[in-house]
Amino acid sequence: MAEPRRMRPSTFRCAAATVLALLVVVFIIVILWLFLHPSKLYLSVDHASTTGFNFTAAGGLAGAFDLTLRAFNPNERASVSYRWVDVGVWYGGTYLAGAHAPGFYQPPEDETRVDVVARAAPADGTTTLPRDVEEGMKKERTAGKLTVDVHVVAKVRFRYGVVGTRKYTVRGSCPAVPIDFASPTSFDRVNCHVHI
């Protein structure tokens, strides 16, 4: 008795099966991306004041900026692990003060407040304030309100249960943050422009 002859699949069938498998893989990736894609994070400055704010004889700035940042994670499924947070205070394009805050964990749909004390950069001869910046700041201080820009840079990782994403750099720019010398307790939230 002769054994039945096996038929070899044609080249067309192999190509069609490969294309179909690729389409299924792409479809699964798109569905997972739509389902798990993290939403944009929100940052804001909820409070800003100064301590020991003064100009030094060397042309620098003394004191610190006390800031309360609010980080909001709007994602329903993804938690966020902040590795670290760097905060810089700027006036008219000139760096005034900075701080490094430790990382923190943020569950889904959670709001976290981070208190940061940004100390003024020391005046060592190379970091003196430009004359126009110092004059502008003195003018605003005399008027009772100083307007600065706050920039935030953070390293984050999104987590879906036990699965984590790669590390992302989050950059937040908070323009026109008012520091009121007359009434430091009243403050209106300043929302930041966030880019991931």
Reported pTM: 0.79
According to the CATH classification, is domain 39-195 in 2.60.40? yes
pLDDT in tens, 104-162: 999 999 999 999 999 987 766 556 788 898 899 989 988 888 999 999 999 999 988 88
Radius of gyration of the chain (CA): 27
Instruction: Locate the DSSP E strands across 16-125.
Output: 42-55, 61-73, 79-91, 94-106, 110-120
Domain boundaries, the chain: 39-195
Question: Residue 148 forms beta bridges with which residues?
Answer: 177
Q: Tell me the pLDDT of the chain averaged across its residues.
A: 87
pLDDT of residue 123: 60
Question: Residue 193 forms beta bridges with which residues?
Answer: 173
